A and B are shown apart, each in its own frame.
Chain A
Amino acid sequence: MDTPLDQLHPRQTAEIQSIQAEREFSRRLFALGLRPGQLIRVLRSGPLKGPLHIRVGHTDVMIRRQDARRIQVRLAPQT
């Protein structure tokens, strides 16, 4: 089952399935390593429904929830 990234809980790991974003934003996502097939982990979320702190590959990134919603992920089996 695919879910939007912002639905993930902290410490959950998932694989990116697809990204719905306009060209400029998807390029920036790609440049930071967010692309289909990559493993992504939510580390924590900021206070007051703040942004998500995620790790993708070797990079830590903060992303706002409204932007994270556009990334579809599939939960990876817990390790």
Chain B
Amino acid sequence: MPNTGKSTLFNRLTGAAARIGNWPGITVDLLSAKVLLAGAMVEVVDLPGIYNLHGFSDDEMVVRRFLETQAVNGLVVVLNATQLDRQLSLALQLKRLGLPLVVLLNMVDEAKRLGIRVDTEALARSLGAEVALLSAKYGQGFERVRGLVENLLRRHPAAQHGHAEAFREDEDIEAELASLVAQSVHAPALLDDARVQALDRWLLHPWLGLPLFFGAMFLLFQLVYGVGTPLQDLMEWLLVHFQSLALDPLLAGAPPLLKSFVEDGLFNGVGTVLTFLPIIVVFFLFMAVVEDSGYLSRAAFLMDAVMARLGLDGRSFVMQLMGFGCNVPALMGTRVMRSRALRLLTMLVLPFSLCSARLQVFLFLTTAIFSPRAAPVVMFSLYLASIAIAFFTALLWRKRFQSHEPLLLELPPYRLPTLKQLVLQAWQQSGHFLKGASGFIVIGVMLVWLLTHLPVGVAPASAQSWAGAIADWMAPAFRPLGIDALQSIALLFGFVAKEVMIGALAVIYGVGEDALKAALAARMDWVSAYSFMLFTLIYTPCLSTVAVLKQESKSWAFTALAVAWPLALAWGISFAFYQTARALGF
């Protein structure tokens, strides 16, 4: 069953780190690990959580195909002890496979609090399986579970296939489930959890619900920057010292071009990823708290009506919010969607979320060009533009990505993750990010270095360099937007990672970051600056995002669309803004 703590158990059993979240259907790729159990190496496979053995969702197909084709020693099924009234149906379906079965009732701590009593012996008799109570989160009952699994392995050392008829229809299961629940589970027919209801009354309030949610999200981002920025500074400090203490002496005798390639190209490329890392880790940590809390499902509930009119659903909105931190984890979060069309449409609008990298660029430019009074208003207008453009894109493309996925979403009880779960998750997610994005960023930065430093002997990023030639060639496209050739080279850098743009501008103008503000103010008025920012907000997502778009959509055609559409839109909107403002006499 989804969201029952299966991954937590898998982690405890194998010491590996599968993904944990209070959000249904979080494990998508099959995780497996080899563990020493009952004196032999055993492969433990973490199958996706499913509601039903006969369903047609991706997850359910995966599990069915696995059970149809693979011989196994036995099955361990994890159920939520507070929801046995419905979850036992899966145990009944699995019983028909005729395979050795261990049924684990997780979250006994919650069940106890809610006054649910389970007669495990009656359950074991009816199911013909070992039944154990467990709290995977706190590790209670875990040793007994391990013992049960080892017993199962000793009694059934040979792997076997399940009965094929178990995959056929089962119309009589309803009656069987009803009698099984009546026999073995003692609980009120409709469960009332006072704690959850009190919180829901405020958090799902018809008028206050959304403002409270946005307030909470705002605080969260403040916290991410509050905690992440000093760490980022620390990382930068470390890198600067690494360069001056190790890299510079090492390259002292090297030819200037090699030195420049290693330092300005490679080192800056790796450095970009590394300075980005603290914010990502902190962001994932906080996101883990929000995810585990059960609040995201509620945000989906609050926004669903609006999103439905755009061809999306409540979950798309949740992803968009996550995208304000970083688009990459938000894109990975779309895995919970079953309909491919819905998922692709969500992935198409997500890169418009004004991520923290773009925020840095905008903070720099607004303080350089606008008065202190106007700057916050300009920032706010960019956030509004980010949401409006995402909604506009969804409206425009919803016909192409039509989905009729009935939205049935569980609203789980509020939970707090344990510290260990948090650290594990942040660690694993950050690792995933690094693995997926770092190669791309390093190659991209090296390419930009080559463009700005070749042919040999030219001044970096000058008109004679290859980048200069490209800028020259692009100039007719950018002139109507009020963006000059030199600035368009910065946009080329921005394609790698948006946070490189400011540094790139500094290289291009040949000044340090401090003098850059004055240099920019001398070359841009507010109209061309805003046009430049609009373009930066909308145009092609950064390389990491493109990489994840490809990885998640598994389609080059879609990835191409997700790159080309924002580029076209950016040009159109900047053009309309710049020309209108100029025509009005600004």
Contact = CB atoms under 8 A, between A and B. Distances in A.
Given A30-B89, A50-B302, A58 B209 contact: no
B52 A31 contact: yes
Interface in A11-35: 13, 24-25, 27-33, 35
Given A28-B51, A28-B52, A58 B305 contact: no
B41 to A, nearest CB: 34
B409 A62 contact: yes
Contacts of A37: 178
Interface string A36-79: 11010101101111110101111111111001000000000000
Given A35-B174, A51-B407, A67-B406, A62 B304 contact: yes
Contacts of B86: 30-33, 57-59
B409 A61 contact: yes
B200 to A, nearest CB: 7
A51 B210 CA distance: 15
A46 B302 contact: yes
Contacts of A62: 297, 300-301, 304, 314, 407-409, 411
Contact of A50 (B57, B83, B191, B301): B301
Given A39-B190, A59-B410, A61-B410, A51 B174 contact: no
Contact of B85 (A24, A36, A48, A57): A57
A6 B89 CA distance: 26
Interface residues of B, number: 45
Interface string B74-115: 000000001111100110000000000000000000000010
Contacts, number: 119
A65 B365 CA distance: 46
Interface in B285-331: 297, 300-302, 304-306, 308, 314
B512 interface: no
A7 B84 CA distance: 28
A61 B86 CA distance: 13
B116 interface: yes
Interface in B194-213: 196, 200, 204, 206-207, 209-210
Interface string B455-496: 000000000000000000000000000000000000000000
Residue from B187, B297, B304 whose CB has the most chain A CB atoms within 10 Å: B304
B54 interface: yes
Given A41-B190, A51-B407, A32 B210 contact: no
Contacts of B305: 46-51
Closest A-B pairs by Cβ, 3 of them: A31-B51, A33-B86, A50-B305
Interface of B: 51-52, 54-57, 82-86, 89-90, 114, 116, 174, 178, 187, 189-191, 196, 200, 204, 206-207, 209-210, 297, 300-302, 304-306, 308, 314, 406-413
Given A57-B190, A63-B408, 13 more contacts: A31-B51, A32-B51, A33-B85, A33-B86, A39-B190, A46-B301, A46-B304, A49-B305, A53-B411, A60-B196, A60-B410, A62-B304, A64-B407
